[in-house]
Amino acid sequence: MKSCLVGVMLCGMASLLSALPVFALDAAVSEPAPAYGWLRDDSRQSAQVLAFLKDENQQTEQALKQQALLEQSLLAEWQARQASVADRPWQLAGSYNYRLSKGMLLQQHAKSGEVTTAADLSKRSLDSDYYQLGSWQVSPDHRYVAVTEDRRGDRNYRLTVIELSSGRAVATLSEYAATDLVWSADSQSLYFVENEGGTYRPYQVVRWSLPQARKVMLFREHNPAWLVSVYAATADQYVIIQSNNHDTSEQQLVDSNSGKRLATLRPRESGVEYYADVRHASLFLVSNRDGDFRLFRAALNEGDTANWQPLWQPEPNQHIKNWLLFPEHIVLEVTEKSNSRVIVLDYQGRSLFDTIITPAGGVAWLSGNSNRYGRSVMIRSMSLTQPPQWQALDLTRMRIATLTEDRYPGIDPAAYQTEQIEVRHGGVSVPVTLAYRTDRINEKSPVILYGYGAYGTPVRPYFMPQIISLLDRGVIYAIAHVRGGGYLGPQWYAQGKGHNKPHSFDDYLAVAQGIKAYRQGRDRPILALGGSAGGTLIAGALNRQPALFAGAVLQVPFVDVIATLSDPSLPLTRQEYAEWGDPRDPAQLAVMKTYSPNDNISPQAYPPMLVTAGLYDTQVPYWEPARWVMAIRDYSRSQGPYLLQTDLSGGHRQDARQAMRQQAREYAFLLRLAPAATQSP
């Protein structure tokens, strides 16, 4: 279902519900029809289900044999482009600095600049079929590193503390941790979050005391619709515990060394969000207490919001995305439509610097900052065709300088064009970011159209060298920034969530139709691509206008919206009602019935599809994509193919070691469906 709280949407087709094979929708809680109900096995151990999934994988392998050479060609191109990738900025930590590079935790002496290897984390994945390093955090005394690792793809992380001097694992603290890690200022305690059994909800904060080797549950969130996180304040003597749902938050201030909960900063109130930090013996908060989000300052002992003093307020079309407390400056990352700005304030709220950091048609954000010690603001920027850069804003001179840029052999950014256009429909202008190779585009060039559209997540035009291989073959790569995403701010998100969910599908279909004529196009083939919530978007669009698309790849798609949200035993269901709707409410259920993909399949000619799933996926259970494929095969009036590929050792996220091979498979599948695309660059 969700992806780091992720999901998606559709519109229309309500008259077809009575013919659907998967669910009967005359009640709020749906029961699977016998034809597909057997596919669900919560244990992931049913011999019948595993045999079915393995057989489907074999059929998919057989069907895709014809594209093997194209897959190999793509992989060869990507492997030949061994990039000169700039290292991430050092994480400043007092007398030593740290960064992770190719699985090696490097340590730099802050004064001499000498670099040594603090720990080799690369070998920790060797004994696992699936592996994702979630997070790492070095203790302030530089003796230990805490790491979280997902070895099954279910987002339950193993938390291990490793002694840097010996490489010895001191303790394994949890097998079902989240990725939040905070060391106390005295290095004697580690704070982390554990997931709830069964639902995988981050629900309690645990404090581990190193001297006593003892764990104590510090806080537990009992409301099943709320999530818990923990983070370090900039002033290292404080830790902040956060509880939140979709539109409300509550935070507690904790003494870092003792673990004593000092105060609830503001009791939870529906619709009011606030996010706090501490520096210079003052509390700084970003909150929508008075409507739009703004920056406040308060005394540390002031829990009453009447005593919060407004410090800075954005313009009406601006929204605070990120903020950092540096020694002498407050740095804000503010979005303004599709652009990001950096605004620097002094601690009296006076503006000292303000500039747009987003390159044309690209994306930029604050990244890799160590604001507790740093004097420069690190900025990451790129576009679909411009490799990433690291830039630094010097807070003394108030100047931005480019530090490093990734370089890829054989890629000349000047050969490609990145643009942002708008597609209008129904009084709405939908932004579209696209890229193409200038000497390969023509009136028949196919379009791979990516979409997401949920949780207010802005799909930014990040650089991926793999996309260049598509452009070299005459493809236009486009991103539809539909409502429900956050590309144009909170209102854009609100217009595509809950009862407004169908707007996302309207936008995606309008973009697909409009882009056919882009640059004198003549009925360009449209190839749909989306994952998780984006898979919902694609599936919904295919139900409504299948003839508009030449093919589709749906990556772990959330397609059983009503059935999943009717089952509170499934992970994170209760947190999803605001995004998708609550099927217990008749009015909300009526809207959900118009777009839930598995509940709107009908007898019509669907285009070919490649659909992926993960056996241990807790965000989109594997049986959702499986039921979608089975129903499409039953109802489609076309031959497909409709292929299901299940990762039998992974979950929602692809194992990084296999990701490139899988991407080659998906791109090759789409390229073969576009006659105008060439099979070689």
pLDDT at 94: 87
Residues 320, 441, single domain; the answer is no
Does 113 fall in a domain?
no
Does residue 427 share a domain with residue 380? no
Q: Are residues 505 and 559 in the same domain?
A: yes
Burial level of 212, CB count in 10 A (0-12/13-18/19+)? Answer: exposed
What is the domain count for the chain? 2
Same domain as 444, residue 387? no
Indicate whether 210 belongs to any domain. no
Based on the domain organization, do 524 and 634 belong to the same domain?
yes
Question: What pLDDT score was predicted for residue 680?
Answer: 67
Same domain assignment for residues 545 and 463 = yes
pLDDT of residue 35: 65
Is there a contact between 140 and 94 (Cβ–Cβ < 8 Å)? yes
Torsion sign over Cα 563, 564, 565, 568: positive
- Main-chain phi, psi angles of 93, to 5 degrees: -145, 45
Q: Is residue 446 part of a domain?
A: yes
Does a structural domain hold residue 287?
Answer: no
Return the CATH number at 489.
3.40.50.1820
Interaxial angle between packed helices 586-595 and 502-514, expressed in degrees from 0 to 180 and rounded to the nearest 10:
20
State which residues of the chain have pLDDT below 70. 1-35, 302-305, 654-656, 676-680
Q: Which residue has the tokens 């903020």?
A: 323
**Does any domain span residue 102?**
no
How far is 192 from 253, CA to CA, in rounded Å? 15
> Are residues 507 and 636 both part of a single domain?
yes
Cα 649 from Cα 317, distance rounded (Å): 45
Residue type, 268: R
Gyration radius from the chain CA atoms: 25
Same domain membership, residue 441 and residue 354: no
Beta bridge partner(s), residue 382: 363
Q: How far apart are CA 7 and CA 570, in angstroms?
A: 14
DSSP string, 283-315: EEEEE-TTSS-EEEEEETT---GGGPEEEE---
CA–CA dist 244, 237 (Å, integer): 23
Of 407, 433, 464, the residue at which a domain comes to its end is 407
Q: Are 266 and 283 in contact (CB under 8 A)?
A: no
Cβ(317)–Cβ(336) below 8 Å: yes
Check if the beta carbon of residue 543 is closer than 8 Å to that of residue 13: yes
Strand 447-451 to 476-480 pairing? parallel
Nearest CA to 303 out of 336, 274, 270, 323 is that of: 274
| Number of H-type helices and E-type strands within the chain | 12, 35
Domain boundary among 355, 382, 407: 407
| Close Cβ partners of 220 (under 8 Å, ≥ 6 residues apart) | 203, 204, 205, 228
Give dist(CA 255, CA 634) in Å, integer. Answer: 60
Is 338 found in the same domain as 433?
no
Co-location of 403 and 524 in the same domain: no
C-alpha 515/C-alpha 12 separation (Å) is: 22
Specify the 3-state DSSP secondary structure of 628. Answer: helix
Domain assignment present for residue 427? The answer is yes
Q: Where a domain ends, among 407, 438, 467?
A: 407
434: CB partners within 8 A, 6+ apart: 384, 418, 419, 420, 421, 447, 476, 477, 478, 479, 515, 518
- The Cα 12–Cα 593 span in angstroms is 8
Joined tokens for residue 240: 């902040």
> Which pLDDT value is given to residue 14?
27
> Quick one: pLDDT at residue 144?
98
Model pTM score: 0.88
C-alpha closest to that of 609 among 512, 538, 507 = 538
Condensed to tens digits (0 to 9), the pLDDT of residues 29-88 reads 333 344 688 999 999 999 999 999 999 999 999 999 999 999 999 999 998 887 777 788
| 3-state class (DSSP) for residue 663 | helix
Q: What is d(CA 13, CA 635) in angstroms, rounded to the nearest whole number?
A: 15
The three-state secondary structure class of 537 is helix
Q: Is residue 221 part of a domain?
A: no
Classify each residue of 36-69 as buried b or exposed e, where b means 16 or more C-beta atoms within 10 Å of its C-beta.
beebbbeebeeeebeebbeebbeebeebbeebee
Which range of residues forms the domain containing residue 371? 315-407
* CA of residue 402 relative to chain centroid, distance: 27
Burial annotation 281-296 (CB, 10 A radius, 16+ → b, else e): ebbbbbbbbeeebbbb
Amino acid at 105: L
Please report, for residues 230, 273, 336, the alpha-carbon distance to residue 293 in angstroms, rounded to integers and kept in the order given. Answer: 21, 9, 14
* Beta strands 551-555 and 609-614, pairing class: parallel
- Answer for the pair 342, 333: CB distance below 8 angstroms, yes or no: yes
Residues 387 and 485 in one domain: no
Residue 594 covered by a domain? yes
What is the token pair recorded at 666? 């998906």
d(CA 601, CA 512): 20
Within this chain, do residues 524 and 583 fall inside the same structural domain, yes or no?
yes
